[in-house]
């Protein structure tokens, strides 16, 4: 892979440096792709949430469900007293 005119220790160092540079490039490319995909998923998610805010449950009785839950919890507690 390396000519015989180059001493073996220097050739080994050069091959190691080239291999490390390639590994660093591959790692950087992989991480860049992963972070780009995560960022795009986040943007799409927040866009979806922003565009579908009005699709929630209809009606203004938000406290009724909380009151029902509290009443049910009280009944269960009374049952086990």
Distance between CA 3 and CA 7 in Å, rounded? 9
Rounded distance, CA 80 to CA 69, Å? 17
Q: Which residues contact 6 (CB under 8 A, 6 or more apart)?
A: 14
Do you know the residue count of the chain? 81
Neighbours of 56 (CB within 10 A): 7
Q: Which residue has the tokens 């160092």?
A: 13
- Where residue 21 falls among pLDDT bands split at 50, 70, 90? very high
Q: Where in the chain are the domains?
A: 1-53
Per-residue pLDDT reduced to its tens digit, 50-64 = 998 876 555 555 566
Q: Average pLDDT, whole number, for the chain?
A: 87
Name the pTM for this structure.
0.53
């Amino acid at each position: 892979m390396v000519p015989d005119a180059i001493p073996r220790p220097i050739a080994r160092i050069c091959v190691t440096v080239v291999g490390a540079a390639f590994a660093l490039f591959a790692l950087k490319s992989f991480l860049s792709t992963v972070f780009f995909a995560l960022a795009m998923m986040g943007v799409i998610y927040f866009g979806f949430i922003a565009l579908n805010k009005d699709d929630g449950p209809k009606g203004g009785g938000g406290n009724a469900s909380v009151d029902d839950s509290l009443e049910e919890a009280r009944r269960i507690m009374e049952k086990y007293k």
